[in-house]
Amino acid sequence: MFDGFQLDRVNVGEVSLRVRHGGSGPPVVLLHGHPRTHTTWYQVAPALAADFTVVCPDLRGYGESGKPASDEAHTQYSKRAMAGDVVRLMAELGHERFAVVGHDRGSYVAYRTALDHPERVTKLVVMDGVPVVEALERCDDKFAAEWWHWWFFAQTEKPAERVICADPESWYGAWTSNGPDHLGPENHGDFLAAIRNPATVQAMVEDYRAGLGVDRQADEDDRAAGRQITCPTMMLWSTRDDMEQIYGDPLEVWRPWCPQISGHGIDSSHHIAENAPTQLTQSLQTFLR
């Protein structure tokens, strides 16, 4: 995987991040979702590296990146904290301004980076996600049925990590829907190592706990203050997932947040980077140039 890329561990303050980076040209950082690591981009990153300097970190808590202890508000796993990691990581690698691409949980980190650090972000791509506050305010029985894991992960009375860690491979379909035939052998090996680590599982659910509290509050504060994402933004979604079924046109959800929003669906199931890498790469190359 990642021929020509360098694998490093970079200290960004509160945590250190595992990161692969390579290529040349304008910098772009690719942010994975749950329960993946940076290796989910193994087919996309090398293709982009012909035209861009590509940076692929494990988000804090995920994969082999640092896993800080969390407070009662779960602020150590807020998207604001993760966005700060991204900015410091890119600065350490010599990139003061850069494009951000995020999928799933990574999409929340990506748009928070654009909102908190507009002077740093040149372009934004969000995939399979809408602002946290929009998802929660639009929640109905269909959303709750399809996205029930948000509530299961977020509650602390009966911690989800105890259930997941009892049999993480079955929980995450490691030999069925997320088997090596779907993920690719090396990406699958990295995924397995992550979900088998109880500390990683706990950190991943802390991400969701932050999502229902401090992340929602950050969105509400931005909306009340009239803050918007000012850089060109593209949203992509997998047409064989449930974004259209839940939101209709997902772009309409984003328009109040991003005056320069564009985007389209891609014929794929949820993990687009693994299931439709060619189509995704083409869309990114066109937008990021």
**Quick check: helix, strand or coil at residue 227?**
coil
Q: What is the DSSP letter of 229?
A: -
Place of tokens 């997998």: 238
Say if residues 259 and 97 touch (Cβ distance below 8 Å).
no
Backbone angles phi, psi at 144, to 5 degrees: -65, -35
Q: How far, rounded to the nearest angstrom, does the alpha carbon of residue 183 sit from its chain's CA centroid?
A: 17
Distance separating alpha carbons of residues 19 and 65, to the nearest angstrom: 9
Q: Would you state the structure tokens that stand for residue 175, as one six-digit string? A: 């030999």
**Quick check: helix, strand or coil at residue 92?**
helix
Say if residues 96 and 120 touch (Cβ distance below 8 Å).
yes
Q: Would you state the structure tokens that stand for residue 139, as one six-digit string? A: 């929640």
Largest CA distance in the chain: 49
Angle, CA 249 vertex, CA 244 and CA 253 arms, to 5°: 110
103 closest CA partner among 279, 263, 235: 235
The residues assigned a catalytic role are 104, 270
Q: Which amino acid is at 136?
A: L
